[in-house]
Amino acid sequence: MEVRSGANPQDFKNYTTERIREDFLIQDLFVSGEIKLVYSQIDRIITGAACPVAPLTLEAGAELRAAYFLERREMGIINIGPKGTVSVDGQPYELDSRDGLYIGKGAKEIVFTSADPQAPAKFYFNSAPAHQTYPTRKILLSETAAQHLGSLNESNERTIHKYIHPDGVKSCQLVMGMTILEPGNMWNTMPCHTHDRRMEVYLYFNIPDDAVVFHLMGEPGETRHVVMRNEQAVISPSWSIHSGVGTKNYTFIWGMVGENQVFSDMDAVPMSQLK
Ligand SMILES: O=C[C@H](O)[C@@H](O)CC(=O)C(=O)O
Ligand SMILES: [Zn+2]
């Protein structure tokens, strides 16, 4: 798997577009017939995807020095493609498009399959170190905690669906969900925020081929943008804002890792502070 190191905001000020993309942007996640994994040393989150044509088994890889992937980890999965199944130690969980799955520490064998190999499922996942086991649970989109935010007037009317969080399906540190923008709304997370106690990864999808999302990152007074295309992810350190505006409608999955799981543990950035 690819390993990426952390980042210091003082250094980040001097990064070129190329360096920002190398360090934070995750491209080519969904490749038919493959599992892709990117290990970030920022809170040791692993961002990955599985696109099975034939069944794919998740391996720990040399980087984890573990007998199996979830020996000391937990993970959350959301399927953004056609129907597929994730088998956890032989127990099958069928995931329709937008269904999620939490898998607790200690599950040994994780196998991904697609219902129709001609139309592979697209399993997106985040994994974090874990020191306790929480029960493995399937999460239907309809069962997520939904929070409606924003307005058409501010171009940010959207619904935040919390899949894995302290008031729902529980985990050691991973918090994960999906935000769906209403048609005609282009902004997510603006006004924006930071959260010193956790980092975040965004996966942008449902972006038409001729559209892009300008993802914003950096300290509030030192922002940069990352031009994102469909099904790409971006790593956001805890000192960074994370926000975006699309040239067309899109959806995104967010995953957070760190020591405070409370969603409202965030520092709102006044619009006047942004530079
Ligand atoms: O800390 C919370 C995360 O940044 C996201 O949940 C924000 C989000 O989905 C949104 O505002 O649209
Ligand atoms: Zn956030």
CATH number at residue 60: 2.60.120.10
Q: What is the residue range of 61's domain?
A: 2-273
Structure tokens at 29: 């996640």
| Sequence-ordered alpha helix ranges (H) in the chain | 9-12, 17-24
DSSP string, 179-226: EEEPTT--EES-S-EE-TTEEEEEEEES--TT--EEEEES-TTS-EEE
The residue whose CB lies within 8 Å of the most ligand 1 atoms, and thus the one to mutate among 126, 254, 256, 263, is 254
Residue 143 CA to residue 167 CA, distance in Å, equals: 12
Residue 3 CA to residue 42 CA, distance in Å, equals: 10
Number of structural domains, the chain?
1
Structure tokens at 194: 């930071």
Three-state DSSP class for 234?
strand
In ligand 1, the atom with minimum distance to the C-alpha of 156 is: 12
Ligand positioned closest to the Cα atom of 159 = 1
| Ligand 2 centroid from CA 241, angstroms | 7
Structure tokens at 256: 């957070």
The residue whose CB lies within 8 Å of the most ligand 1 atoms, and thus the one to mutate among 78, 179, 190, 234, is 179
Whether the Cβ atoms of residue 85 and residue 93 lie closer than 8 Å to each other: yes
Q: Model's pTM, two decimal places?
A: 0.97
Tens of pLDDT along the chain (275 residues) come to 999 999 999 999 999 999 999 999 999 999 999 999 999 999 999 999 999 999 999 999 999 999 999 999 999 999 999 999 999 999 999 999 999 999 999 999 999 999 999 999 999 999 999 999 999 999 999 999 999 999 999 999 999 999 999 999 999 999 999 999 999 999 999 999 999 999 999 999 999 999 999 999 999 999 999 999 999 999 999 999 999 999 999 999 999 999 999 999 999 999 999 99
Structure tokens at 43: 């809170």
